[in-house]
Amino acid sequence: MQHYCGIDLHSNNHVVVIIDEEDKRVFEKRLSNDLSQTLKVLQPYQNTLCGIAVESTFNWYWLVDGLQAHGYEVKLVNTSAVVQYDGLKYSGDQHDAYHLAHLMRLGILPTGYIYPKEQRAVRDLLRRRLSLVRMVSAQLIGVQSQLWRSTGIRISSDTLRCRDFVVPLEENHTRQAIESGLAVYQAI
């Protein structure tokens, strides 16, 4: 007999549902986010488990890594691609976890790529850098726009980037807003 597992992961707990090849629930329980509890629950099914579908939006590293380290085949669910049935009568974490296991059993579970553990830190660092580049660009554009609106003078980004740039305004509140934007830019 083969089994399929769906896990709906949240910030402080997760729901584990295991089904058989006829979609019958053989296990269902909400657990705290403790890998040892999850491994204990899965252990009786380890030899018959075809895979584990994990649905999470942000905190899956610890669970996926821990399950893989113990020999489980893990699928990270592409949450934006999972389509619920039209007219669905049931909702909730237990049903979501069941639905993931069911989609895996049917072979139609939409999955995402699980980056190798060794590469994730670099990917996360690049994501952080991209976020900072966007923030710094937004600050410069905001300062440019405010200056243009207030003075009618268009000042280049290169000029604004200079640490010795002096805001060409007499009006105190607008000058303070522009100086604040430049301070945020320089801090980033």
pLDDT tens digit sequence for 72-94: 999 999 988 887 654 555 578 99
Strand 49-55 to strand 3-9: parallel, antiparallel, or no bridges (unpaired)? parallel
Same domain, yes or no: 102 and 65: yes
Which residues touch 22 (CB under 8 Å, ≥6 apart)? none
Same-domain check for residues 105 and 132: no
Handedness of CA 26, 31, 34, 40 (dihedral sign): negative
pLDDT digits 0-9 by tens, 10-49:
999 999 999 999 999 999 999 999 999 999 999 999 999 9
Q: Do 20 and 76 fall within a single domain?
A: yes
Here the tokens at position 174 are: 């607008």
Separation CA 117–CA 186 (nearest Å): 33
Of the residues 87, 114, 141, the one at which a domain ends: 114
Residue 169 banded pLDDT, cuts 50, 70, 90: confident
Same domain for 90 and 128, yes or no, is no
The pair of three-digit structure tokens given for residue 42, joined into one six-digit string: 């899965």
Interatomic CA distance for residues 123 and 91, integer angstroms: 34
pTM: 0.77
User: Range of 129's domain?
Assistant: 121-187
